[in-house]
Structures are given as structure tokens and as C-alpha cells.
């Protein structure tokens, strides 16, 4: 492994979201990346050249005619570890898809031999236009990662898909892609790329390894459901959603289309994931089963309530002086994971989580069989373990009898191992 700073080319095309790229740039440079900013000429109408130069510490050019002696149109792309275009406009995506080379950024895209990530931002109509859809498909089919834009308020009064994701979340995608390619460099063993720890042998294998979930649709549940007692009270649990969100972030960076069914999570939306909110166990059941119809893999990381109050009170339950409160009768909720295991389409990989306080492995094996899952991530929970913490330790049990021990580490590391195991099981199922 070399110790030089990772080299990132940050392409900026002419969208109002260019101002958000300043924050992305700052995060990249402050975390030790050497960043060259390559704006399009029109992008400079939104944010000027001095801003990019000051924040990156490098001169900035839009044209191939500046500094010709250094052949910048070839050198920048060839030397980069990552090219990240944020925002990527409809026009930039079209020029990239058609292989045009009419400015420094499009030249750089043609000479890059590293991962290329586009973060599109535009009005919903432009994003959904068949021309843009076709260009996105072309870029994806050539190995680029094109992140789904976020939904929400756009520049005018309109709302819909087309927003540039939060810069902190885009930074996270860049970080994951760089980490995966650093691990997957040809000839380097290391810990990554594949579940068995052996590195890929060729550059082509390395390129395929960083986004091994490309063309896959994965559904992830996260957070903890709440079962209403009355309009102000609920039965809930201590799940923060951190593990499910880590699974979503890593899956996006590995190229998957991600549906994240989130129950009561107070975390920023991961870039590129479609967020489907679900409050109760029943809402989560409906959302997960609907999304799972076409999914290649479903990971149930959510803490779903096992019981809910049998009767919902329309009015707040009052303290009545001189009387004891009435007991709350509970009924079982539907077991979503078991239902997924029963009705899954051929080849779909189903992953469950099991939070156990005792007899951890024994309970895990029984649960894996009972819920007909392919993989079960078993971890010990209790005070100061797992819930709300950034780290986790687990054992991943496979229906094929396999066992993968994951030492205590960041929840993202566990997420990567889950995807390694899922990707290995998906190999026999061709992407759509």
C-alpha cells in the first residue's frame, strides 16, 4: 500500500447545487485527499474559480488549452483514484454517455481508469426524461456509479427526485468507494474485495470488485417500530437504525439500488437510497413485502416489535383518581422475516438479524432455521452493547452451515461483510 494521499478529481457541472460541492470539497481535503476541481465553464457562473482554487489548494481550469505542456486532459484522469462529478447535470450526463470530449471534465472522464461516480442533480422532469434515463443506463452499463438523486424541494416551488444528496453523505460514498478500491488493487492481498481476503488478480477484476452489487436491488429495514397504545403513547425499542443505515450506505457505494424501509430513525438520509418511512410493525410489513417483490436481497436489520397492544384507544388514557390503570393486553405482530423466507422468489437472498441476550449461538441457529433465512447476523445485546453504538460484534450464521465471526468494529465493517456474503450467494442469479 502506498502512503500518498488519495487523488480525487471533483467534477462540477452547471447546476445550482454547485454550492453544495464546496462543502464536499472541504470534507475531502480536510480528511487528507488531494483534490483537483474540474468545473465546466458554465459551472463557474454558480461558484467562481477562486473558491475552488482556495478550497482545493490547486489551480483550476475548465479548458484543455490551459497548461498544454502538462497535457492536463490526459494526466488528471490517468492519475486519479476517483473521479466524482457533483452535481452532474442532464447535459453533463449526456456528454459523458456519448463520449464527447469538448472540455477538460469530459476529457478527464474519458481518460480515467479509476472508479467514476456521478451525483446527478436537476429538475424532476429532466431526471425522468427518457433521454436522461437512457444516458444513465449507458453510463451504468459501462461501470460508472450513478447515484440516485434525493427527493424533496428543488430550486423553485416544485418537489420530486432531483436534489443533490447531502454533501456529508456524498463524501461518505466517495470514502467507501476509495476504501474498496484501495483494498481491491491488483496484486494486493489485504482484507478486502472478497470474503476470503484474497485480492483480485487483474485490473478488470479490481474494477468489478468495487461495485459488485451493480444491477442489484436490495431492500433493507432499519430502526425500531412503534406500536401505538393511544394518540400519545407507544411501545417501542432502543434500536437507533445505525446498523441498517450502514448497510444502506455500503450497498449504494457497491452499486446497488437500495430501498431503505426506515422505522423512527433520526439519522441523515444515505445518498442514493430510496427511503420508505414505516412507523409500526404492520406498516413495515407492507412496505418491505412490496419492495421485496423484485429484490435480489432483503436484509431485515430493523428491530420489529413482536407484540402490539390488542386495542388502540382513540383518546388519551387518563389517570382516574382512586382507580388503578387497566392492563394493556398484547397480541403478536406478523413475523416479516419468516414471511419473506416463505414467499421469496427463486434466488432471492434473505438475511435476518438476531439480538440475543443469552445462549447466543444456539438461539441463532434455531432462529435461522425457523425463519428460513439464508444468513442470520447474531449479536449479543444488553446495556452498553450494540444499541445506539457505532460499533458491533457479531457472528453471521449461514443456512449452509457456514459461520463468519466478525470482531468488534464499526457497523460499516459488519455491513461490508454481510454484503460480501450476500454477493457470493447472488453470483448464480444473473442481474436483471
Question: Rounded CA gap, 231 and 244, in Å?
Answer: 28
Question: Rounded CA gap, 171 and 27, in Å?
Answer: 7
**Residue 217 beta carbon to ligand CTP: minimum distance, rounded to whole angstroms:** 19
Question: Rounded CA gap, 275 and 290, in Å?
Answer: 14
Residue 61 within binding range of ligand CTP, rule CB under 6 A: no
Contact string 262-301 vs ligand CTP (x = CB under 6 A): -------------------x------------------x-
**Residue 218 beta carbon to ligand CTP: minimum distance, rounded to whole angstroms:** 15
Chosen residue from 333, 348, 379, 392 binding ligand CTP by CB under 6 A: 333
Residue 223 within binding range of ligand CTP, rule CB under 6 A: no
Question: Rounded CA gap, 163 and 120, in Å?
Answer: 8
Residue 352 within binding range of ligand CTP, rule CB under 6 A: yes
Three cell numbers, residue 147: 447515484
Residue 335 within binding range of ligand CTP, rule CB under 6 A: yes
**Residue 370 beta carbon to ligand CTP: minimum distance, rounded to whole angstroms:** 7
Residue 375 within binding range of ligand CTP, rule CB under 6 A: no
**Residue 108 beta carbon to ligand CTP: minimum distance, rounded to whole angstroms:** 44
Decide if 61 contacts 38 (C-beta within 8 A): yes
Residue 264 falls in the annotated catalytic set? no
Question: Rounded CA gap, 84 and 66, in Å?
Answer: 22
**Residue 426 beta carbon to ligand CTP: minimum distance, rounded to whole angstroms:** 19
Three cell numbers, residue 116: 467514476
Count of chain residues binding ligand CTP (CB under 6 A) = 14
Chosen residue from 260, 355, 394, 417 binding ligand CTP by CB under 6 A: 355
Residue 337 within binding range of ligand CTP, rule CB under 6 A: yes
Q: Which of 170, 181, 182, 185 is nearest to 28 (CA)?
A: 170
Q: Which is nearer to ligand CTP, 38 or 375 (CB)?
A: 375
Q: Which of 125, 63, 64 is nearest to 90 (CA)?
A: 125
Question: Rounded CA gap, 355 and 82, in Å?
Answer: 38
Residue 240 within binding range of ligand CTP, rule CB under 6 A: no
Residue 241 within binding range of ligand CTP, rule CB under 6 A: no
Question: Rounded CA gap, 374 and 324, in Å?
Answer: 47
Q: Which of 160, 159, 388, 150 is nearest to 275 (CA)?
A: 150
Residue 415 within binding range of ligand CTP, rule CB under 6 A: no
CB neighbours (10 Å) of residue 342? 11
Residues in the chain, overall count = 432
Q: Which stretch binds ligand CTP (CB under 6 A): 106-114, 157-165, 302-310, 318-326?
A: 302-310
**Residue 249 beta carbon to ligand CTP: minimum distance, rounded to whole angstroms:** 19
Decide if 139 contacts 97 (C-beta within 8 A): yes
Find the catalytic residue in 135, 237, 264, 392.
237
How far from 358 is each of 235, 349, 355, CA to CA, in Å? Answer: 23, 27, 9
Residues designated as active site: 237
Residues that bind ligand CTP (CB under 6 A): 281, 300, 302, 304, 306, 333, 335-337, 352-355, 367
Amino acid at each position: 500500500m502506498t502512503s500518498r494521499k488519495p487523488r480525487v478529481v471533483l467534477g462540477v457541472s452547471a447546476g445550482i447545487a454547485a454550492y453544495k460541492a464546496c462543502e464536499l470539497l472541504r470534507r475531502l481535503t480536510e480528511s487528507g485527499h488531494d483534490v483537483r476541481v474540474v468545473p465546466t465553464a458554465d459551472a463557474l457562473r454558480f461558484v467562481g474559480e477562486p473558491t475552488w482554487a482556495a478550497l482545493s489548494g490547486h489551480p483550476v481550469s475548465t479548458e484543455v488549452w490551459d497548461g498544454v505542456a502538462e497535457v492536463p486532459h490526459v494526466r488528471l484522469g490517468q492519475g486519479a483514484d476517483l473521479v466524482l462529478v457533483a452535481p452532474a447535470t442532464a447535459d453533463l450526463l449526456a456528454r459523458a454517455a456519448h463520449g464527447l470530449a469538448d472540455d477538460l471534465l469530459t476529457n478527464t472522464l474519458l481518460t480515467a481508469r479509476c472508479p467514476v461516480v456521478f451525483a446527478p442533480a436537476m429538475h424532476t422532469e429532466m431526471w425522468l426524461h427518457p433521454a436522461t434515463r437512457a444516458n444513465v443506463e449507458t453510463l451504468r452499463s459501462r461501470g460508472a456509479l450513478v447515484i440516485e438523486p434525493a427527493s424533496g424541494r428543488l430550486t423553485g416551488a416544485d418537489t420530486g427526485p432531483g436534489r443533490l444528496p447531502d454533501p456529508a453523505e456524498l463524501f461518505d460514498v466517495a470514502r467507501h468507494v476509495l476504501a474498496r478500491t484501495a483494498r481491491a488493487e491488483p496484486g494486493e492481498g489485504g482484507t478486502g474485495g472478497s470474503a476470503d481476503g484474497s485480492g483480485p488478480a487483474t485490473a478488470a477484476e479490481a474494477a468489478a470488485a468495487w461495485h459488485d452489487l451493480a444491477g442489484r436491488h436490495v431492500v433493507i429495514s432499519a430502526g425500531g417500530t412503534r406500536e401505538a397504545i393511544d394518540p400519545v403513547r407507544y411501545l417501542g425499542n432502543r434500536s437507533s437504525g445505525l446498523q441498517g443505515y450502514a448497510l444502506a450506505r455500503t450497498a449504494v457505494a457497491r452499486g446497488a439500488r437500495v430501498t431503505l424501509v426506515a422505522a423512527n430513525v433520526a439519522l441523515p438520509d444515505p445518498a442514493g437510497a430510496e427511503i420508505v418511512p414505516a412507523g409500526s410493525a404492520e406498516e413495515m410489513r407492507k412496505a418491505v413485502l412490496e419492495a421485496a417483490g423484485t429484490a435480489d436481497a432483503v436484509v431485515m436489520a430493523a428491530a420489529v416489535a413482536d407484540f402490539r397492544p390488542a386495542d388502540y384507544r382513540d383518546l388519551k388514557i387518563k389517570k382516574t383518581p382512586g382507580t388503578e390503570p387497566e392492563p394493556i393486553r398484547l397480541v403478536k405482530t406478523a413475523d416479516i422475516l419468516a414471511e419473506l423466507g416463505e414467499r421469496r422468489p427463486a434466488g432471492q437472498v434473505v438475511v435476518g438479524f438476531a439480538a440475543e441476550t443469552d445462549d447466543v449461538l444456539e438461539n441463532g441457529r434455531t432462529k435461522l432455521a425457523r425463519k428460513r433465512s439464508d444468513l442470520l447476523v447474531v449479536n449479543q445485546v444488553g446495556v452498553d452493547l450494540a444499541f445506539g453504538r457505532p460499533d458491533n460484534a457479531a457472528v453471521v450464521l449461514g443456512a449452509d452451515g457456514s459461520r463468519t465471526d466478525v470482531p468488534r468494529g464499526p457497523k460499516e465493517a459488519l455491513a461490508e461483510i454481510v454484503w460480501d456474503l450476500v454477493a457470493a450467494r447472488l453470483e448464480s442469479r444473473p442481474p436483471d
